[in-house]
Amino acid sequence: MSKPSPSERAFVPFVSVDNMMQLVHSIGIEETLKGLATYLEEDFRRWECFDKTPRVASHTDVGVIELMPASDGDAYAFKYVNGHPKNTKEGLQTVTAFGLIADQYTGYPVLLTEMTLLTALRTAATSAMVAQYLAPKGAKTMAMIGNGAQSEFQAIAMKVLCGIDTLRLYDIDSSATEKVVRNLTDQGFVLTPCRSAEEAIEGAQIVTTCTADKQCATILTDNMVGSGIHINAIGGDCPGKTELHRDILLRSDVFVEYPPQTRIEGEIQQMPGDFAVTEIWEVIAGKKPGRTGDRQITLFDGVGFAIEDFSALRFIRDKVRETAFFQYLDMLADPDDPRDLFGMLQRAR
């Protein structure tokens, strides 16, 4: 399918769920994750160029709905996303999302896309890209505590970007662990289901925590965490939802995306407002150190930030231009005379 001409700008490319699945498989899942990580790293390096704001959130007792906007002055993007842990018991997704990227010069949207799958991919790509800077050199084993919808994406991203080849898996729901084992068999991993979080972290150089319950939980206690590991803490992502005992934070060098958001939503919501953290973009841009020693505990308090969605939307926008995996939506008014919107309405009579 060819790109629209200037006179067809009212027709916006739309990537459906089916389109996204076809696009990812045409590229390859591993190559998609690598490509997303490249775009993410590029945008983290130019972090200071972006307009940034914490996500706009509407919280209820059962979940949260959020808007996540970002702009680099040339393009504007946002994502709509929800997080409803109770949905799984009702046969629904915990997280669903869609997003849009627009031309800042005209204000016209240039892409509308599903982002449920894309968010899973970009979250995993972000974790693995960050781990390249913070994880111990030569790390091969990762503990995955919480074996829900994000697990396989995290595992594959850590394999292709960081060299992880051994997974130790734990979830309070053993069927979730069985699902991961089933999906990742023949994907190049040694897979070890575990009976507890304590067992899962034995011998792991990277520990990923990714649970869904909206509560202040203690998935890892201080005595479970030995020196030298990297903790990829991505499940604490809204107010009142954490996974780590606060004493772990006191022993770790903590890296975050955007402090004004992470202090509200991340693991560091447990800490005083002046608790010291390093913004991960500063490490990626070479302004501050990441991992500095073999015994250092590094902790990525990843809550997800709008610039990551901007990077993912930019990646899909560029890839869609090379494929036919999209359709056009007639979603913008296009009167013959830009001042005569009413006249356009009358055409339908």
Task: Give the residue among 203, 307, 303, 217 at the shortest CA–CA distance from 254.
Answer: 303
CA distance 34 to 38: 6
Give the Cα separation of 140 and 327 in Å (integer): 41
Strands 141-145 and 190-193: unpaired
DSSP run (H or E) holding 206: strand 206-209
SS3 (DSSP) at 348 = coil
The Cα-based distances of 20 to 4, 37, 152 in angstroms read 20, 18, 17
Burial class (CB in 10 A: 0-12, 13-18, 19+), 71: buried
What is the SS3 assignment for 264? helix
Calpha distance 207→36 (Å, rounded)? 22
User: Rounded to 5 degrees, what are φ and ψ at 121?
Assistant: -65, -45
DSSP calls for 154-193: HHHHHHHHH---EEEEE-SSHHHHHHHHHHHTTTT-EEEE
Q: Which active-site residues does the annotation give?
A: 237
- Count Cα atoms within 13 angstroms, Cβ side, for 55: 30
Q: What is the dihedral of CA 206, 163, 158, 270, to 10 degrees?
A: 20
Pairing of strands 75-83, 64-71: antiparallel
Q: Report the chain's terminal Cα–Cα distance, integer Å.
A: 32
201 to 224, 229, 233, 294: CA distances (angstroms): 8, 10, 14, 17
